[in-house]
Amino acid sequence: MDVPWPVESPMGPAVLAGLDARTWLAEHDDDAVLEVPWWCAADVHEERHTVPGAADPSVILLRQGGGLRRNLALSTVTAAFASVCDGDLSGRAAAAAIAGLLDVDEAAVRAEIAAFVRDAAKDGLLVRERPDRRASGNRL
């Protein structure tokens, strides 16, 4: 991965957490990934870009304040999912709710969420345990 911007220093803890997350993801299929109640990491923020006067944002990003400082472009489905990543709902339950709200195919929503979780969790934007919000502050 090429990261042309400044990263968190020291990087050791972020690299170790990334290796742990990638190992867990490699050992679990999408059904297992969807059974987890995911959390957004403490240093993750949502950013919306909107043209003045527009009803909806033109771009929604999930931005990581620490680690590799990644940002992910979100779709309507993944933005809805990220907004409920507080440890209460499993990915499967969230997918069912999102599919119902958007009146779209639930299997397609589950597949999109599973792929999103795999991408976001490998670098720590999503985590399987409650993040310590005091430790991260409000870094951007």
Cα–Cα distance, 42 to 69 (Å, whole number)? 13
Please identify every stretch of the chain with a pLDDT value under 70, giving residue numbers as ranges: 1, 133-140
For residue 1, the model assigns a pLDDT of 67
Domains in the chain with CATH codes: 12-129 (3.90.930)
What amino acid is encoded at 67 in this protein? G
For residue 134, the model assigns a pLDDT of 53
Cα–Cα distance, 95 to 140 (Å, whole number)? 28
For residue 8, the model assigns a pLDDT of 82
Residue 65 half-sphere exposure toward CB, CA atoms < 13 A: 15
Question: Mind listing the pLDDT tens digit for each residue in 20-34?
Answer: 999 999 999 999 999
Question: Mind listing the pLDDT tens digit for each residue in 108-122?
Answer: 999 999 999 999 999
For residue 140, the model assigns a pLDDT of 35
